[in-house]
Amino acid sequence: MILIDPIALRVRAVEPLARTLKRIVLEAADGGLLPSPLPGAHLPIMLPASAASLRNSYSLTGSIEDRSRYEIVVRRTELSRGGSAFIHEMLKEGDVLDAVRPNSLFPLQARARKHLLIAGGVGVTPFLSFLPVLEQRRERFEFHLLVRADEIAVFEALLAPHASHNVHIHPARDALSIPDLLARQPLGTHVYTCGPSSLMDGVRETALALGWPKGRIHLESFGATGGAPFRVQLARTGIEVAVGEAESMLEALEAAGAPVRSLCRGGACGECLTRVLAGTPEHRDHFLSDAEKAGGGLVMPCVSRALTPSLTLDL
């Protein structure tokens, strides 16, 4: 895979936070200063997790003002496609990785009168760069984090620098009423959510039902999840690509050398948007409108899959 304007990063430290969580500290391999990120930015990294390297994006969790280092927090997932497994089992201090300059597709909204942040588990990561900025600017915000009871201490430690009456940690999903929380917000509030799809979909659907404008609802997805295998026909080249149950359509297309662009790899930016010529997509993105999804003529291969045995794409 060819990276545009790559940067080489050296692993400065690998810090276990919990059994399934690690913090990775990265620095410029040449000892120089790193490009300045914006709050909520994610870092696309090439990981040699298999014969075909993976390109995974991770939210930056450190201070955006510290250009000597980047920090990411990675959870080891049971159904890892290779990225989290490589980081937890093989990545070590001194290793050098290729990356792309940080991208911000989940920015703070300058016109918001208040910022409502809702995260689930490791979905806290993009907000770790939001919080110091909101505090420094003295903007109105409210942060709610839903976590498993056995991980409360871990996330309390992560959020310790930002402990205040605005930051709330809840031990279970039912400990927070999303409808009540959204209903009591003042006009001009923007809501941001990151975490499991069930949480993000619930926040979005509830907000829309309460009359929130779509432009004030912001979602950050972790990326693709698996599903049943299927095949993709590339109409322009005649190539047929098999998509396995544990890989994304985008990864399979990249491995086959298909000319598909990508950026966020989480179904949010629209960079990989591709025309569907035959077959029915299973939409898992947060970019296409309901009408576009119902039409079935477009797909986001970074996260979406197929409801039919095969798809034919305009590639």
Q: What does the pLDDT read at residue 137?
A: 94
Q: What does the pLDDT read at residue 235?
A: 96
Q: What does the pLDDT read at residue 211?
A: 97
Q: What does the pLDDT read at residue 51?
A: 44
Q: What does the pLDDT read at residue 3?
A: 56
For residue 65, count CB atoms less than 10 angstroms from its CB and return exposed for 0-12, middle for 13-18, buried for 19 or more: exposed
Task: Tell me the torsion sign for CA atoms 211, 217, 222, 227.
Answer: positive
Residue 254 exposure: Cα atoms within 13 Å on the Cβ side: 22
Walk me through the domains of the chain, giving residue ranges and CATH numbers.
7-99 (2.40.30.10), 114-220 (3.40.50.80), 230-313 (3.10.20.30)
pLDDT along the chain (315 residues), means of 10: 75 95 97 94 82 76 95 84 84 95 88 97 95 95 95 94 92 86 98 92 96 93 76 95 88 88 81 95 89 95 94 96
* Contact yes or no for 283/299 (Cβ under 8 A): yes
Q: In what order do the strands lie in the sheet with 21-28?
A: 54-59, 42-47, 96-100, 6-18, 21-28, 70-75
